[in-house]
Structures are given as C-alpha cells and as structure tokens.
Amino acid sequence: MENFGATFKYLRESRGITLSSLADDVVSKGMISKFENGTSDLSTKRFFHLLKKLYITPFEFTVVMNHFEPLYDNKFATDLTQSALNNDFAGLKRLADREYVRWQNSHSIFDQLNWIMAECVRAEAEKKPLSDKVHLNVLTNYLFQCEDWGNFELVLYGNTMTQLPIETITVFSQTLLDKCSIYIGLTSVYETCINVLLNTIALLIRHGETQHALKTLAILEQKKLPESFLLERVLLNYYKGILLTQTGRRTEGDQLIDSSLQALKAGDCVEFVNSLKKDLAELGLYHI
C-alpha cells in the first residue's frame, strides 16, 4: 500500500488544495508532506480526518489508488453475473477454477466464499446439481455468524440463495434489513438489499412458498420505496400481482401484472419482459 501518500497528493492537488490550508491542530503541514512523499505514515484517525477535509470518501480514495480500475471483488462479481446472463458456461468454469486456486493459495475464508459463490452461480446457470466438493455449510455458517451485512455479504447471499434450503432463505428474508441496518444509509447497499429481497420473493414463488413470499412482500411494502427506485417498485407490484392471483384475487392480480409489464415495455425492457412472461407461463398465469 506504498501509494497511499501519492494517491492522497494527487487528489489534493487535483482539487487545488494547498498543504497549508489542510494543516490544523490534528495534523501538521510537515506530517502531510512526509505522508505524501512516502517517508512517514499517518494514523487512521488523521488519515480519515484529511479525507473528510477534502470531501473524499474512503471508497473514492480506494478507486483512485487502484488506478481507476474496479476493485477485485467488484470486478469478479460483475464478471460472474455477466457470464451467467450470457450463458457463458466456459467463462463460469474459468472464474470458479480461478477462485479455487486463489483459495488454495491464500486459505482465506473470503476467497473460499467467492469460490462457493462462483460454483453456485454456475450450477444455477447450467441447471445442474451443485458439485459435491462445495460445502454449503461454510457459506451458511459465515452468513449466520456475521451480524452486520455489507455489500459483500449481500452479493454473496444473492448469488447463492438458489442453492440454499428454503428454510434458510425464509429466515434471512425476515432478518435481511436488520442485518444491513448499519449500512442502510449507503444508497448502493440499500438498493442491493431491496433487490435481494425482490429476488427472494421470486424464488419463494417458484418453490410454491406463497405465505413466506407474502411475508417478504409485506416487509418491502412497509419500506415505502422512493420514486427513484422505479424498477424496484414496478417489480414489487409485479410479484404482488402474482401472489394475489395465487390467493384468490385474480382480477386485481392480473391488473397489477399487466400494468407492471406495460411499465417495463415503456422502458424498452423487451428481453426482460419476455423473460417475465416465460416465468408467468411456467406458473400457469400467462399464455405466450
């Protein structure tokens, strides 16, 4: 991490901020200069103090320090999702194999979890059973013992829940917002949390767990999603429509489903709409 100081200097100078204007009773001009030149370190307290004075978030600093490239975990998750969407089975295998090698070399629980996630996504995409060498108890033990979930845990759970027991999914569906509560102020984490819950509803519907799906739906409805969450609000109505039709309120449910599909069509989400129609057909609710 020898480029901490150089990165800080780059960001300071790019904003036209002088050393003198940053210096105060917490950190002196000399301390900042030595930090930027790599001849001295700063305490965590002083470092975050300087970031705050520059109006730079720790995440922004990390991105710049990484030469504007996505962080490894973010890029891995993106590549994994893209390969799954493209039905790139060879690409999924390469990603899983690479994570397995990383884990074997590092013995890190996080590399192991990334490998498990890759294998779960691969199994779902290929519609094949999960490999026997994947021990899901490592995943569930980690998720249960982790009290506060951030983006890593949300992405991990969201990408693996299709391979988890329904009992586990129903437990997490009721506690997910609590587990993410300390990060809810971060829009990206909150958005991911909401989308994981929406995917949970879809999965519960697929498995015929109507009552559990209704409970999860109720949790999301209580949140009163803002208008900026337009897609999430449309999908919430879409899944609500399905559940209404399955619980005897067919007319109201059909109206919600149709209005949701029309909203997505208006947004030119043609492939997404076609995918949802196929799901509806499998549920016996739509004839293509």
Residue percentage of the chain with pLDDT more than 70 = 97
CA torsion through residues 229, 280, 217, 245, sign? positive
As to burial, measured by CB atoms within 10 angstroms (0-12 exposed, 13-18 middle, 19+ buried), residue 272 is middle
Of 43, 65, 87, the position where a domain reaches its end is 65
Task: Tell me the C-alpha distance between 244 and 263, whole Å.
Answer: 19
Task: Tell me the C-alpha distance between 239 and 179, whole Å.
Answer: 24
Assess if residue 267 is contained within a domain. Answer: no
pLDDT of amino acid 184 = 80
43 and 17 inside one domain: yes
Over residues 157-203, the pLDDT tens digits come to 999 999 999 999 999 999 999 999 888 888 888 999 999 999 999 99
Residue percentage of the chain with pLDDT more than 90 = 79
Residue-by-residue DSSP string for 227-283: TT-HHHHHHHHHHHHHHHHHTT-HHHHHHHHHHHHHHHHHTT-HHHHHHHHHHHHHT
Assess if residue 116 is contained within a domain. Answer: yes
Q: How many helices (H) and strands (E) would you count in the chain?
A: 16, 0
**Model confidence, pTM:** 0.81
Task: Tell me the C-alpha distance between 242 and 143, whole Å.
Answer: 30
pLDDT of amino acid 288 = 42
Assess if residue 234 is contained within a domain. Answer: no
pLDDT of amino acid 1 = 44
Assess if residue 177 is contained within a domain. Answer: no
56 and 75 inside one domain: no
Over residues 12-69, the pLDDT tens digits come to 999 899 999 999 999 999 999 999 998 999 999 999 999 999 999 888 888 888 776 6
pLDDT of amino acid 144 = 95
Of 42, 65, 88, the position where a domain reaches its end is 65
Assess if residue 36 is contained within a domain. Answer: yes
* The token pair that represents 253 in the structure block: 């449910």
pLDDT band at 2 (very low <50, low <70, confident <90, very high): low
The boundaries of the domain holding residue 12 are 4-65
Assess if residue 46 is contained within a domain. Answer: yes
CA torsion through residues 62, 185, 234, 204, sign? positive
CATH of the domain at 44: 1.10.260.40
Assess if residue 87 is contained within a domain. Answer: yes
Number of domains the chain contains: 2
Of 134, 152, 172, the position where a domain reaches its end is 134
